[in-house]
Amino acid sequence: MNIRTANKDDWNAIWPIFREIVQAGETYAYDVDTTKEQAEKIWLEAPRRTFVFVEAGEILGTYYIKTNQAGPGRHVCNCGYMVSPKARGRGLATTMCEHSQKVAVELGYKAMQFNFVASSNQGAVRLWTKLGFETVGRLPKAFHHPRDGYVDAWVMYKWLQKT
């Protein structure tokens, strides 16, 4: 297994993962009709860096890292993670999140914040909590889940610098 920086040539392998997750409408606040071109800008071009998780030459997961806010908030980064449905339950999200925290520190970030974690995404909430993220905010009924209706979204945060 290998995590490496993504490049333009990786987009055709990232796109099916992105499309399937976004079209499900269960975890990300992206329009379910996001086009391939829009998605490439969101996932590959706008972030500071994007990575892929590769195993046996196949991209099974991806994540981005970007500055969460400008100016006085620029020391906090934001990340998004996606794992191919066929590779779930194998620890890829854990590995990518741990990798992203190391990259964040290398890039000079002092904290990581997840702005909008659907409370119905219990697997992610459990994982981020296990990895040391605290729920620091609740946005009541902010996420419209396709089956569960309006659910809360969490703001989750972790200070990355050793004290």
CATH of the domain at 154: 3.40.630.30
- Spell out the residues 6+ positions from residue 106 whose beta carbon is closer than 8 angstroms to its own: none
Q: pLDDT per residue over 22-33, tens digit each?
A: 999 999 999 999
Contact 61, 84 (CB under 8 A): yes
pTM of the model: 0.94
Burial group, residue 9, by CB count within 10 angstroms (0-12, 13-18, 19+): exposed
What pLDDT is attached to residue 163? 62
Domain that holds residue 70: 2-159
How many domains is the chain partitioned into structurally?
Answer: 1
Walk along the chain (163 residues) in steps of 10 and give the mean pLDDT of each run: 93 98 96 97 96 96 97 97 94 97 97 97 96 98 97 98 74
Q: Give the tokens for residue 134.
A: 């605290």
Which is nearest to 44 in space by CA: 71, 12, 73, 69? 12
What pLDDT is attached to residue 13? 97
